[in-house]
């Protein structure tokens, strides 16, 4: 049984794919997934720092340059979800028909559904859950992966801030969009903490989704009231 990594690239919204990409785009995505799968398996077996990118390339039958054409850094081979989240923020959070909280809940729900759907497709759910826990442990125990994750979180907050500035008409240096963006992005670590907490319990993938999604939505309700004033906050109308 091969426990494959989650296909984060499949989360990309269809309308974002280049027109006419077709077979070429599918092959590109398949190669990205193979590179990420192979790298993750090697990192989990030997440790992140012990594996060279050249070894990953050789195992996949491609050049080291090809690996870096698909992944800008070694860290992004296993933490590619951050880029997918950035793409989703640019599209979904920018939609004026959704509130900021509704937008991020839609993104989080899609990302969680990808994980639980992957779990449901595995032959051995217990081993699949253990693989996710090992992956989380790898990220926590590797300084360069932790640093990459923190840098990506900062980029996500910056993108969300820019979007909220545009949505509200606030000044670029206004504090309200920044704190709102930071609060919204705090739902991501909360989701992964909840996932980690519920993974070691006897739950079906569907029950796991419901439990984690419920935790996230409870936290989001706390944000919703405060963010409701964001439209007027930049005009100096915050409640005193």
Q: Residue 205: which of 111, 120, 109 has the closest Cα?
A: 120
Would residue 172 count as lying in a domain?
yes
Would residue 240 count as lying in a domain?
no
pLDDT given at position 160: 97
Would residue 195 count as lying in a domain?
yes
Number of compact structural domains in the chain? 1
Spell out the per-residue pLDDT of the chain, length 240, in tens.
345 555 544 444 433 444 455 788 888 888 998 999 899 999 999 999 999 999 999 999 999 999 999 999 999 998 888 888 999 999 999 999 999 999 999 999 999 999 999 899 988 888 888 888 898 899 999 999 999 999 999 999 999 999 999 999 999 899 999 999 999 999 999 999 999 999 876 889 999 999 999 999 999 998 887 776 665 555 444 433
Q: Tell me, what CATH number does 98's domain have?
A: 1.10.357.10
Look up the domain containing 73 and give its range.
Answer: 8-233
Quote the pTM value. 0.82
Would residue 1 count as lying in a domain?
no
């Amino acid at each position: 049984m091969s426990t494959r990594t989650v296909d984060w690239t499949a989360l990309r919204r269809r309308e974002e794919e280049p027109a006419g990409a077709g077979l070429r785009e599918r092959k590109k995505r398949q190669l990205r997934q193979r590179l990420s799968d192979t790298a993750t398996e090697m990192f989990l077996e030997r440790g992140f720092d012990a594996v060279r990118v050249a070894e990953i390339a050789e195992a996949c039958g491609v050049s080291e340059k090809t690996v870096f054409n698909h992944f800008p850094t070694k860290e992004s081979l296993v933490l590619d979800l951050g880029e997918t989240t950035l793409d989703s923020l640019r599209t979904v959070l920018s939609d004026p028909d959704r509130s900021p909280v509704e937008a991020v809940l839609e993104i989080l729900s899609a990302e969680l559904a990808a994980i639980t759907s992957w779990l449901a497709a595995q032959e051995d759910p217990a081993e699949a859950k253990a693989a996710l826990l090992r992956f989380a442990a790898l990220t926590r125990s590797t300084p360069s992966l932790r640093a990459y994750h923190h840098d990506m979180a900062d980029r996500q907050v910056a993108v969300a801030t820019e979007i909220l500035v545009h949505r509200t008409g606030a000044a670029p240096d206004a504090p309200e969009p920044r704190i709102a963006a930071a609060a919204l992005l705090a739902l991501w670590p909360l989701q992964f903490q909840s996932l980690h907490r519920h993974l070691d319990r006897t739950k079906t993938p569907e029950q796991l989704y419901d439990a984690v999604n419920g935790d996230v939505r409870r936290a989001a309700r706390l944000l919703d009231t405060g963010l409701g004033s964001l439209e007027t906050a930049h005009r100096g109308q915050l409640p005193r």
